[in-house]
Amino acid sequence: MSIDLALIGGTGLYRFPGLKDVERYATDTPYGHPSDAIVLGRVGGRRIAFLARHGEGHTIPPHRVNYRANLWALHDLGVRRVVGVNAVGGIRDDMGPRVLAVPDQIIDYTHDRLTSFSDVAGAQVKHIDFSEPYSATLRRDLLAAAARAGVAVVDGGCYGATQGPRLETRAEIARLRRDGCDLVGMTGMPEAALARELELEYACIALVANWAAGCGDEAEISLPEIYANLEAATKQVPVLVGALLGG
């Protein structure tokens, strides 16, 4: 089965609009069940796979996502390129609500997650090079596609991956800023590392839903505003993906 690209949709992206010849592929893996059935379809004649990270009904919190099963199921289908779409908070001044970014670095602040395929008895221990956590080739292709499609994206930035599901305190965001983080989200890890273990090309489209705590002008974070910002930013994703597949 030839699949040109897989998308893992985050908060606000539970279905990929405009898919043709849609099939649902329910599977199991040695690591348990994926978050949901994988949706297979075509965009402009190119075959893609789509998986809702939190399930189509957003029933799985970030720290309970079976990241290993998700990546294994996509790999088992023959996928070689994966784009993770992640809802994030903005820390850097140019990372405000509704901005799309393609980060190039990540810092992992999560804990108690199953972070490796080596975490089972008898598995090969793999020491991956994670100096550059995202595929340079896929990042370049995403940026070029954005330019062709007229979709504004920020090139680069450091994603701070936190545990969730709660949002962060002002002090925690101040620490992330001191550490060099430009964005904060809850699902960037271990997804990126697991993709590297499977030798998949992996990159992230970060959708900024809100200013992180203590950033911007807002006194507090409003959930209705978060969802409105995500809805607006998410509309750019099919345009960007279409350009990526057509380029």
Structure tokens that stand for 120 in this block: 């089972």
> How far is 25 from 17, CA to CA, in rounded Å?
17
- Which CATH number do you get for residue 112? 3.40.50.1580
User: What are the binding residues?
Assistant: 11, 53-54, 186-187, 210-212
**What pLDDT is stored for residue 43 in this prediction?**
92
User: What are the binding residues for substrate?
Assistant: 186, 210-212
Q: Which sign does the torsion angle of CA 85, 87, 91, 93 carry?
A: positive
Model pTM? 0.94
H/E stretch holding 86 reads strand 81-90
User: What are the binding residues for phosphate?
Assistant: 11, 53-54, 187
H/E stretch holding 142 reads helix 136-149
H/E stretch holding 196 reads helix 191-197
Number of structural domains (the chain) is: 1
Domain that holds residue 70: 5-246
Question: What is the full per-residue pLDDT of the chain (247 aa) written as tens digits?
Answer: 589 999 999 998 999 988 899 999 999 999 999 999 999 999 988 999 999 999 999 999 999 999 999 999 999 999 999 999 999 999 999 999 999 999 999 999 999 999 999 987 777 888 999 999 999 999 999 999 999 999 999 999 999 999 999 999 999 999 999 999 999 999 999 999 999 999 999 999 999 999 999 998 766 778 889 999 999 999 999 999 999 998 5
> How far is 105 from 176, CA to CA, in rounded Å?
13
